[in-house]
Amino acid sequence: MMKKRNRGWIAAILAAVTVLAGCGAGSSSQQTAAETQVQTEAQTQTEATEQTEDQTEEETEGSAAGEDAAEETENSQEQAEKDGNGKALVVYYSATGNTEEAANMIAEAVGGDLFQLEPTEPYTDADLNWTDENSRVTVEHDNPDQRDVELVSTTVENWDDYDTVFIGYPIWWGIAAWPVDSFVENNDFTGKTVIPFCTSASSGIGESGQLLAEMAGTGDWLEGQRFRSGVSEEDVASWVEGLGL
């Protein structure tokens, strides 16, 4: 009888131990799950923070790069203005083709544009015969009031874009051929460097450039250059290089 009771107590104790062990295991399992969830949330939060920081850093770098590019462009423009690296224009009147040839060479040497002055009533070979006292050019020379030669156009497109202007012409009786006068009188050379050049078989440039400068009243006029008929590209290029433009 005593043995049965002891067995019963032992069984009860074992059952209690088992229950307690189960409760402990359950509590431990719940604790572990909670800790895992907290760790997961913390990791997720950390990754989100790092991603936000990376995105902010990329945006900051992109903004800085854009500012650097804008600053570089502005500096380049300012440097170009300081260096005077603007556009060049070669304006010319050519009676027989010699001045046109020199003008083309100058435009090639400076990388400039060309603008030809064309009388509305072109000069013929007979008109240009200065040995004939009745020729057009001789009559105009003898009567200055008849030298106002109308041109097809005196207006240059985008005139303000040019900061260097070459003006070419043949020499007539020691001065610039008067068809260029209308162009000089009808344009404002303020802020521009103006460089006269002429072509002549024998005569020098004389005071032709100075007289045009006085006629214009504006612009920084440099000393001009006379080219002989049939001037070479090498001579023109050497002269242009010496200008230091």
Q: Is the pLDDT of residue 137 over 70?
A: yes
Q: Is the pLDDT of residue 125 over 90?
A: yes
Assigned CATH class of 87-243: alpha beta
pLDDT of residue 202: 84
Mean local confidence (pLDDT), 129-146: 96
Inter-helix orientation angle 233-243/98-110, to 10°: 50
Q: Is the pLDDT of residue 115 over 80?
A: yes
- 3-class DSSP state for residue 168? strand
Q: In the chain, what is the greatest distance between 2 CA atoms, to the nearest angstrom? A: 167
pLDDT of residue 49: 53
Q: Is the pLDDT of residue 173 over 50?
A: yes
Q: Is the pLDDT of residue 34 over 70?
A: no
DSSP 206: T
Q: Is 165 exposed, middle or buried (0-12, 13-18, 19+ CB in 10 A)?
A: buried
Q: Where are the domains of the chain?
A: 1-85, 87-243
- 3-class DSSP state for residue 57? helix
pLDDT of residue 69: 52
**What whole-number percentage of the chain has pLDDT above 90?**
61
Q: E strands of the chain, at which residues?
A: 87-92, 113-116, 162-172, 175-176, 193-199, 220-221, 225-227
Would you say the C-alpha torsion 35, 41, 47, 52 has a positive or negative sign? negative
Q: E strands of 2-127, at which residues?
A: 87-92, 113-116
Q: Is the pLDDT of residue 127 over 90?
A: yes
Per-residue model confidence as pLDDT tens digits over 42-61: 465 555 555 655 565 555 45
d(CA 221, CA 196): 8
Residue 3 C-beta-side C-alpha neighbours within 13 Å: 0
pLDDT of residue 39: 56
Per-residue model confidence as pLDDT tens digits over 196-231: 999 998 889 999 999 999 999 999 999 999 999 889
